[in-house]
Structure 1
Amino acid sequence: MSDLDAFLSGDRPDDVVLFISDSYLDDDSRLREVGRETDGGVRVVVDGETGRSAFKAGTGMDAMAFAKEAMANEGEIAHTLDGGACPFADEDPEADHEVRFVFAFAEAQNEEVGGLYAEGDVVHAYAHCACGESYSHKWVVGTRSD
């Protein structure tokens, strides 16, 4: 099972996933050495503390501040955490709406909170688009296969 598959199945709850697109990441970035190359960039699955530091190094942003900002806009982020559909694409169809980076973590099931959290572990994913907007998507582990 790959690191990503283990994360998406809830087996790595203390880890985070980072995706940085080729258009955003420097060619000589250390993330290219430690991550897995995808069609559009580099994806890494690492422990949470390392991941937050790597996110800051790769994007210049604090991971949790970015997540808080992105929560204001719901969009769709690919199950593979390396792409998405910007919710602002209809407002500005001429703009580039390619995902620049994604940050994701999982939160354990919590029946007291209710909603999705009562159904199982929840993946929280946050994306930043080339148009400058950020957005979020969350789902219960095991409910997506796209």
Structure 2
Amino acid sequence: MSSPREEFLAGDRPDDVALFLSESYVSDDRLARFGTDVDGGVLIVVDGERGRSAFHAATGTGAMEFAQSAMSLEGEIADDLTGGRCPEAPDSDEHVPQFVFAFTEEQNEDVGGIYANGDVIHAYAQCRCGTAYSDRWNVSQQ
């Protein structure tokens, strides 16, 4: 039986969002009951509306506003959504994501590019240094 996290990463939950909150950013143990304890924090997969509300509650900013601001800088986000490499200091262990917000967009051959190759995960991260960045990839490339 698959977990919500595995289903999301496989592209099987296009109406849901995933949130990774690092333990250094949020220390509320109650979050663990809504998600999965992962190395360095908690990963939550919930329906889109509840996820955007949870993101706002945890970070103080709107999910889509954050995603839009992070889009202008590409970085590398781990395909399990629990880590990344900040484009400001890609070789530094100090530059780790405080949080990640992600959603899946279903395959769309009419759009072309990576969208024609399969479902696409869009991920947006906030580094400990304050840099917001984004990454996207085809589910099949994991």
TM-score of the superposed pair, with normalisation by structure 1 = 0.91
Who is 1:34 aligned against?
34
Q: For residue 27 of structure 1, what is the amino acid of its counterpart? A: D
In 1, Cα distance between equivalents of 2:64 and 2:28: 26
Q: Note the residue ranges of structure 2 that are not aligned, 5 or more in a row.
A: none
Q: Cα deviation per residue 1:97-137 (whole Å; 9 max; x = unaligned)?
A: 11100000000111111111111110000000001001101
In 1, Cα distance between equivalents of 2:42 and 2:5: 12
Once the two structures are TM-superposed, the CA of residue 37 in structure 1 deviates from its matched residue by 1.0
Q: Note the residue ranges of structure 1 that are not aligned, 5 or more in a row.
A: none
Once the two structures are TM-superposed, the CA of residue 79 in structure 1 deviates from its matched residue by 0.8
Who is 2:108 aligned against?
110
Once the two structures are TM-superposed, the CA of residue 73 in structure 1 deviates from its matched residue by 0.7
In 2, Cα distance between equivalents of 1:45 and 1:108: 17
Who is 2:61 aligned against?
61
Who is 1:52 aligned against?
52
In 1, Cα distance between equivalents of 2:124 and 2:27: 21
In 2, Cα distance between equivalents of 1:109 and 1:20: 27
Once the two structures are TM-superposed, the CA of residue 26 in structure 1 deviates from its matched residue by 2.9
Q: For residue 141 of structure 1, what is the amino acid of its counterpart? A: V
- Aligned 1:4-23 pairs, distance under 5 A: 4-23=5-24
In 2, Cα distance between equivalents of 1:42 and 1:50: 16
In 2, Cα distance between equivalents of 1:40 and 1:63: 21
Q: Give the RMSD, CA atoms, in angstroms.
A: 1.6
Which protein is richer in helix relative to its size?
Answer: 2
- Aligned 1:63-102 pairs, distance under 5 A: 63-89=63-89, 96-102=94-100
Who is 2:132 aligned against?
134
Q: For residue 64 of structure 2, what is the amino acid of its counterpart? A: M
Aligned residue pairs total 141
In 2, Cα distance between equivalents of 1:118 and 1:111: 4
Q: Cα deviation per residue 1:19-73 (whole Å; 9 max; x = unaligned)?
A: 0000110334x32221111120111010000100000001001000000011111
Once the two structures are TM-superposed, the CA of residue 18 in structure 1 deviates from its matched residue by 0.2
* Regions of 4+ moved over 2 Å: none
SS in 2 for 1:80: coil
Determine if contact 1:8/1:142 at 8 Å carries over to the other structure.
no
